[in-house]
Amino acid sequence: MIKQACKLSAVLLLFLSGQCLAEVKIVVHSSVADDAVTSSEAANVFLGKTKTLPSGHKTVPIDQEEGEEPRDEFYTKVTKKDASQLKAYWSRLIFTGKGQPPKAVLDDTEVLELVASNPNIIGYVSGDADTSGVKVLLTVE
């Protein structure tokens, strides 16, 4: 009886943990011509594979600090990399001189302030962040 209860609890926990994953929004300055990007296009910008949006608009990606929930959600959902894979990815690029990771800011508020004040910045925020004043290019659930 106890084993069945433990198994049921484990299954329920797995189910609920999948339901608790948060949305992430990719945001840019409201003047940017692009109205949307795909997850793949966003991943390429944040992994340093391209410096432009589909329209050709130059972008500078900014990250949130390690350990922030929006960062973990963004990289897991958009780039399909967890924290250790991301560190390994950037370590290789830094070592070979082929790239640097995006600069990190503290939280959603700082991302939104930077994006609203600079037409070249692209960032991501949690799904419940107030994005009035910026343009949302992609919402990832």
The pLDDT-based confidence of 20 (bands split at 50, 70, 90) is low
Q: Which fold has domain 22-140?
A: D-Maltodextrin-Binding Protein; domain 2 (3.40.190)
Mean of pLDDT values over 1-18 = 47
- The CA dihedral of 27, 32, 33, 36, to the nearest 10 degrees, is -10
| Predicted TM-score of the model (pTM) | 0.83
Main-chain phi, psi angles of 59, to 5 degrees: -130, 155
Domain map of the chain by residue range?
22-140
pLDDT digits (tens, 9 = 90+) for 85-114: 999 999 999 999 999 999 999 999 999 999
Over pLDDT 90: what percentage of the chain? 84
Mean residue pLDDT of the chain comes to 89
